[in-house]
Amino acid sequence: MRILVIEDNQDIAANLGDFLEDRGHTVDFAADGVTGLHLAVVNEFDAIVLDLNLPGMDGLEVARKLRNDARKQTPILMLTARDTLDNKLAGFESGADDYLIKPFALQEVEVRLNALSRRGKGIQSRELQVSDLEYNLDTLEVRREGKLLQLNPTALKILQSLMEASPAVVTRQELETRVWGEELPDSDSLRVHIHGLRSVVDKPFETPLIQTRHGIGYRIAPPDDGQ
């Protein structure tokens, strides 16, 4: 596993790192919350070991920002001396997947991390992404540059088809069948819906993503994708 340890106590971090690396894992470290959050966002880890009492930003805030702002689902094991039920509930509510009280056995840390990693790999993220456009298929939320976009159900179906096929072109017939089934609308309906989709997804932003292939269909891709 590749593990991120966010812990300001150098002795604890060193003991964890030595033990986990001896067991064949790769370990990265951060000694404060801000650095830890940055590493967790820009890298892919199998699991995160997160202390609660951290300089700069505490563990609860790190977990909340990782889940709510960065939308990362990396499993989190919180390590802390706070042992009350309220502390544990706060940890889970912030986004932690497991909670271990200090002092702890190093072997138990590894067992819990292995379990979290297996569980995390079993949960497939149902999210589509093209450039800075994201579509969460579970929540039906579409965001671009982090901004929530409002789309009607027909536009969502068209967008899903285009994003799933990206960067390939989706023909008009394929889109019409995907959206309306065998009861095809009049010839202008798809064009009208594409226009509406562009007005929300492209018009407010600097870079257009939805492209027309005249006589064929549509695609969604960054403009520097020369297909």
Kindly report, residue by residue over 59-97, the tens digit of the pLDDT: 999 999 998 888 888 899 998 887 778 888 888 888 888
DSSP code for 69? I
Taking a C-beta distance cutoff of 8 angstroms, is the pair 50, 59 a contact? yes
Neighbouring CB atoms inside 10 A of 193's CB total 20
Q: At what angle do helices 153-165 and 189-201 cross, to 10 degrees?
A: 80
**Using one digit for the tens of pLDDT, what is the confidence trace for 27-63?**
999 999 999 999 999 998 999 999 999 999 999 999 9
Domains with residue ranges and CATH for the chain = 2-122 (3.40.50.2300), 127-220 (1.10.10.10)
- Residue 106, exposed/middle/buried by CB under 10 A (0-12, 13-18, 19+)? middle
β-pairing, 217-220 vs 170-171, is: antiparallel
For 122, the token pair is 């079993």
- What is 16-65 written as a DSSP string? HHHHHHHTT-EEEEESSHHHHHHHHHHS--SEEEEESS-SSS-HHHHHHI
User: What local confidence, expressed as pLDDT, does residue 205 receive?
Assistant: 94
H-only helix segments in 65-188: 85-94, 106-122, 153-165, 172-180
Residue 213 pLDDT exceeds 90: yes
User: pLDDT averaged over the chain?
Assistant: 88
Taking a C-beta distance cutoff of 8 angstroms, is the pair 156, 201 a contact? no
With pLDDT > 70 as the criterion, what percentage of the chain qualifies? Answer: 93
